[in-house]
Chains A and B, each alone.
Chain A
Amino acid sequence: MKMPERSVVERRIVFLLLVLAVALPILFPLGLKTQSTPLTEQVYGLVESLPEGVPVIISFDYDPSTITELQPMAEAVIEHAWKKGHKVIATAMWPQGPQMAEIAFKDVQARMERKDAAAKKHPYGEDYINLGYKPGGLVTIQGMGRSMKAIFPTDITGQKYDEIPLLKPVRTLKDIRYVISLSAGDPGLRDWIMTANGKFNVPVAGGTTAVSAPGFLPYVNDQKQLYGLMGGLKGAAEYELLLGYEGTASLGMNPQSVAHILILAFILFGNIRAWKKRKADRLALEAKNG
């Protein structure tokens, strides 16, 4: 019974070190700067390339468990789209999405006003609309390609689709100029790639948690199945960098970097220990076998 107890103590020390590695850089930022990568630049480029007034979809396909990674992306993309004068339509494949969208819209407006008291107001219904949550993933997106109104008879306030001026030029998904899905899993970005891009040729870009990011890279290809990808907190920090402000993601990169080093150190120690143990075992075996 001695073995597990020692390991429990070891475990708690590891936990404590991790808390310190994350908490200290939050309290005392190192002022580290991040560097942008081509994948994030492509997303930025897509938003940047379109003129004022075009309707676009930002889809909130995540829940609060991944807000640290995806909420800063949502805020950055909304700010960029608003600055370009795009009409933002929020949709959600996850039920928690509409709520995350509302929080993001509110925070972006507040931040823009904090920076510049005379910043433009972005009224609901004129500059953005929230169409709420629909289940069904790719089936539902395919429905949007036939008729947006059939899928979203009303927005979240209960206003009829036809009565919303912003949605006048949008009859089907094909009238949307780009879709950016912020996606924590299934349903999410993959469904948008397959349906919005694969079936209806609408440009799709995305932001995902770092966990799923490597799996989306095959879609970034000559056919532009995917226009760039923001992966995890780093991706969000890069987008903030491109927009020229330091948000929660950029600040988060400080503890992130320190914690990575700590994990690498853990792996190193673990391997040294295992190597020593193996050596000792071999010696003991040799001694035994004489």
Chain B
Amino acid sequence: MADLMTTLGIWLAAFFTLSIFSFLYKDNPFYKFAEQVFVGLSAAYWLVYTIYNILIPNLFSKLLTDFSGNLVLLIPMLLGIMMLLRMFPKLQWISRYPLALMVGTSAAMSMLLSFKSDFLEQMAATMINPFKFTSAVDVVGTIMVIVGTLCGVFFFYFSKKQEGLYKVPSKIGIWFLMVSFGASFGYTVMARISLLIGRLDFLLRDWLHLIK
């Protein structure tokens, strides 16, 4: 029985895979069906995980096992319910309170954390003595990092007209950006191809058994 179900499962997976691929030919009922099944499954998945991995362990089971010790948890529960009221246009304003709490907290945290790791630390990481390296490649590379970072930042500096002498660092900045976008381009192509490899591998190996 279990073996039969496994085989059936693979056929089901193959059916959905091909239904999605059929979109490449043109939009058709199979694709539309598969797409909506995906939306439905995904929504149920989120719900089940939210209940079993967040609401039960972090809220309900605490309240059920030790109610008086966790009284304070009634506040976030209330705020959560206020959040749900967003569904009703008339009561939408109530949801602003939990929203404000969340937005205020996360704005402050991301401000501190990203300023430290994306601003301060990046700045410090660019303060390098390029001549401490022995190999010429490293020296040249490090100089490129310093020049590229500074010119790149200058490219995004809007308070000065980029004319005459000011045009030079801005131009260098855009060149560095373009090289980096090229790298990004190459990597993205790579990523997209990888996804296709996974699917074709499934079809050829698990479904059609063309490879051992």
Complex: A in contact with B (CB within 8 Å): yes
Q: Is the pair A154, B194 in contact by a Cβ cutoff of 8 Å?
A: no
| Residues on A with beta carbons closer than 8 Å to the beta carbon of B46 | 95
B45 within 8 A of A: yes
User: How extensive is the interface on chain A, given as a class?
Assistant: 35 or more
Q: Is the pair A233, B105 in contact by a Cβ cutoff of 8 Å?
A: no
Complex CA–CA separation, A260 to B105 (angstroms): 45
Q: Mark B87-103, 1 if CB is under 8 A from A, else 0.
A: 00000000000000000
| Residues on A with beta carbons closer than 8 Å to the beta carbon of B183 | 214
A210 within 8 A of B: yes
Given contacts A26-B197, A153-B62, A256-B197, 12 further A-B contacts (CB under 8 A): A95-B50, A96-B45, A98-B49, A135-B54, A139-B106, A153-B57, A158-B61, A195-B113, A210-B187, A221-B125, A232-B190, A233-B194
Complex CA–CA separation, A136 to B24 (angstroms): 36
Interface residue SS majority, chain A: helix
Instruction: Spell out A's residues near B (CB within 8 Å).
Output: 12, 15, 18-19, 22-23, 26-27, 65-69, 95-96, 98, 132-136, 138-139, 142, 151-154, 156, 158, 193-195, 197-199, 209-211, 213-215, 218-219, 221-223, 225, 231-234, 248, 252, 255-256, 259-260, 263
Q: Is the pair B188, A133 in contact by a Cβ cutoff of 8 Å?
A: no
Contact A26 B109, CB 8 Å, known A193-B117, A194-B117: no
Contact of A210 among B122, B194, B197 (CB under 8 A): B194
Q: Is the pair A223, B113 in contact by a Cβ cutoff of 8 Å?
A: no
Complex CA–CA separation, A19 to B52 (angstroms): 40
In the assembled complex, the CB of A193 is this many whole angstroms from the nearest CB of chain B, namely 6
Q: For residue B127, which residue of chain A has the nearest CB?
A: A222
Contact of B54 among A133, A194, A199, A234 (CB under 8 A): A133
| Residues on B with beta carbons closer than 8 Å to the beta carbon of A96 | 45
Complex CA–CA separation, A142 to B124 (angstroms): 23
Q: Is the pair B117, A156 in contact by a Cβ cutoff of 8 Å?
A: no
Q: Is the pair B124, A223 in contact by a Cβ cutoff of 8 Å?
A: yes
| Residues on B with beta carbons closer than 8 Å to the beta carbon of A211 | 184, 187-188, 191
Most buried by A among B114, B198, B200: B198
B134 within 8 A of A: no
Contact of B190 among A142, A158, A194, A260 (CB under 8 A): A260
A-B contact pairs, 13 of them (CB 8 A): A15-B24, A19-B200, A95-B46, A95-B50, A95-B53, A135-B54, A138-B109, A211-B187, A225-B121, A231-B187, A248-B201, A263-B189, A263-B193
B116 within 8 A of A: yes
Contact A153 B54, CB 8 Å, known A198-B113, A223-B121: no
| Residues on B with beta carbons closer than 8 Å to the beta carbon of A151 | 58
- Give 9 nearest A-B pairs by CB, closest first: A68-B198, A210-B191, A221-B125, A194-B113, A95-B49, A198-B117, A210-B187, A132-B53, A233-B194
B28 within 8 A of A: no
Complex CA–CA separation, A222 to B184 (angstroms): 23
Q: Is the pair A154, B61 in contact by a Cβ cutoff of 8 Å?
A: yes
Most buried by B among A194, A209, A221, A259: A194
Q: Is the pair B113, A199 in contact by a Cβ cutoff of 8 Å?
A: yes
Q: Is the pair B196, A18 in contact by a Cβ cutoff of 8 Å?
A: yes
Complex CA–CA separation, A120 to B151 (angstroms): 54
Contact A138 B197, CB 8 Å, known A23-B204, A209-B191, A210-B191: no
Q: Is the pair A67, B53 in contact by a Cβ cutoff of 8 Å?
A: no
| Residues on A with beta carbons closer than 8 Å to the beta carbon of B68 | none
B156-212 contacts to A, CB under 8 A, are 180, 183-184, 187-191, 193-201, 204-205, 210-211
B135 within 8 A of A: no
